[in-house]
Amino acid sequence: MESLGMAATRIEDRVSCALGLSSLAEVQFESSKSIPMGGVMLLLPFLLESGLLSYREHYLQREGYYSFDSLPITLSFLFLLRIKTLEQSKQHNPGELGKLIGYDRIPEVKTLRGMLRELTDQGKCEDWGKTLSSQWITSEQPELYYVDGHVQVYHGYPADLGKKHVSRQRLCLPGMMEFWINSGEGLPFFFITAEVNEKMIEMLENEIIPRLVELHLPGEKQAEEMSGNPDYPLFTLVFDREGYSPAFFKRIWDKHRIAVLTYRKNVKDNWNEAVFKDVKVEIRIEETEMKLHEEAVVVDKYSMREVRRLCPNAHQTAIVTNNKILTLALIAAYMFGRWIQENFFRYLRQEYSFDKIIQYAVDDIDNNIVVVNREYSNIEYRVKKSREKLSRLKAKLYDRQQPGLPEEKTGENSRKKGKWFTRQLELQEQIQQMDTDISELIKERKNTPYKIPVGEMPVQSRYSKLNQESKYLMNIVKMICYRAETALAHLIAPHYKRDDDEVRTLVKAITLLSIDLIPDYYNNKLNIYLYPPSNNRSREAISNIIDTVNKTDTVFPGTKLTLFFNIATF
């Protein structure tokens, strides 16, 4: 029994599966009292509704004691319980967690990694992600998408990754760039990983927009509006200044009828403050007043709407859009509400260990991808530093050549005067040599191509990339967890005034509640009794949402047991 691992009590099933006498062990629940962290089961209906088990459409099933169904359920429960890595699961009782998934214990870390490898070896993560994003977009029918980049910083040495600017650390660090597409509510739809150092405009035009055009099917109302109004867009993209390009805006409108909303670059003028008017703007659940004004502008021969906000410090924030349907208030609300996506990244980093690398395998990049030549960048850097040094030398020489020098330097002391003029000659020689060096560097830079294919880079410094299959899989599970958590938060929100601050805290507290688990196989019910939280307000909120959750008639995967929740009484 000891060799089977801690909390392994279903000995016959384990031996039978190990000997090949049985393909899978059945999911079985036993009556259990005071299971810690059992409140996480309240999120299972939301996980299943968000598509947790839709992986079945793409992956072949396995044989063994644990089914593949147990893997996404286990991972979801671990993430929702803020057990951020597989190794951290060792610090928790495996038997207690196993009762939540219908087994004697959760898989040990080695088994979890083996099951993950079995899934990732099938290479179906991208297909699963496309299915989920299609389902989410079809059901929600958004008319606005937020697009933003997130750098997954890499501190290892096997992979040679290009450096990206990490705004949260204000540094350029090696890493992989992911471009995330979220809804107006901050819910993720999908993400695309850049191969090397692709810019946002390039990723938007070549990767993101083609997929959105494929997935976005206008609803009846939108289709009717589009047919009757040539200015009505297919959808609107909201992003920051990195994607600013009027020529690009015109191309995607002419080709796909896609509108954009972004900050304007290179604003040098200020509008008269008298033209700004107070406008009520609703950003998420809060309503605030902003001083706004709109004018029609032509930017790079393309006509657009420009909206400016006059800030309390007199700064004017400029927004441009080619969406002719949005009201002034909505333009401000959508643009300044873009921080919801930044908050999404921050939340996942803090709560779900978003950037954690699961497998450290390295893959080669397509040799035909064109990248900036590192040798060119090195020469450019040397030219920049040489010019900075030349400026400093010229400044020193200028100081030496100024009239009205101190007495000890211009008096009759010939020795001091000699040293003074000798120093001037040395500086002039250094300046001449520096000019020569810069000219040589510029000539070398001219003969060095700015961009080259990856295949022409030196082998020892050639770009590579991290294997993305395992990261893709974990990102999908975390997206589902975030969506499930958000759905539960929306049910709780009406019971709290400051819902944005308090609801997610309550959701986390719910997952940590203990439960009594009483299966009723005769009536095909799995009775789950949640231990009440520490205050009446939270208990009342949970009681109100339990009725809604029970109406979903959710069946635990692998069984015929319908989940039925209630508040435990003592």
Looking at the fold, whether 117 and 15 belong to one and the same domain comes out as yes
Closest CA to 77 of 107, 114, 33, 34: 107
In this predicted model, what pLDDT tens digit does every residue of 204-236 receive, in sequence order?
999 999 999 999 888 778 888 888 889 999 999
pLDDT for 1 equals 38
pLDDT at position 13 is: 83
Q: Which of 415, 448, 481 is the last residue of a domain?
A: 448
Please report whether residue 118 resides in a domain. yes
- Evaluate if residue 18 carries a pLDDT over 50: yes
- Flag whether 104 is in a domain: yes
Final residue before a domain boundary, out of 448, 483, 502: 448
Per-residue pLDDT tens over the stretch 514-536 = 999 999 999 999 999 999 988 88
What pLDDT sits at residue 544?
A: 87
| 96 plus 6 within the same structural domain | yes
The region of weakest confidence among 130-134, 149-153, 405-409 is 405-409
Q: Are residues 23 and 113 in the same domain?
A: yes
In a domain, 68, yes or no: yes
Nearest Cα neighbor of 141 from 234, 51, 237 is: 234
Q: CA–CA separation, 563 vs 545, rounded Å?
A: 14
pLDDT at position 12 is 85
- Report if residue 80 sits inside a domain: yes
Tell me the pLDDT tens digit for each residue of 19-38. Answer: 877 778 889 999 999 999 99
Integer-rounded Cα radius of gyration of the chain: 31
Q: How do residues 57-82 score in pLDDT, each as one tens digit?
A: 999 888 888 888 899 999 999 999 99
Q: Does residue 284 carry a pLDDT above 80?
A: no
**Residue 348 forms part of a structural domain:** no
Q: How many domains does the chain have?
A: 2
Give one word for 558, left, alpha or beta, with left for phi > 0 and alpha for psi -120 to 50.
left
CA distance 514 to 510: 9
Same domain, 116 and 27: yes
pLDDT above 90: residue 371: no
Q: Check whether 137 has a pLDDT greater than 80.
A: yes
Residue 261 placed within a domain: no
pLDDT for the residue numbered 501: 64
Domain that holds residue 69: 2-122+525-567
| pLDDT tier for residue 421 given thresholds of 50, 70 and 90 | confident
- Report whether pLDDT(358) > 50: yes
Is 220 among the domain residues? no
The span from the CA of 304 to the CA of 249, in Å, is 10
- Choose the final residue of a domain: 423, 448, 473: 448
Residue type, 398: Y
- Same domain membership, residue 530 and residue 443: no
d(C-alpha 188, C-alpha 345), whole Å: 10
Name the E strands within 300-361: 302-310, 316-321
Mean pLDDT (whole number) for 428-457: 90
pTM of the model: 0.87
Residue at 552 is within a domain: yes
DSSP symbol at 555: B
The closest of 156, 159, 153, 160 to 177, measured between CA atoms, is 153
Do 6 and 118 lie in one domain? The reply is yes
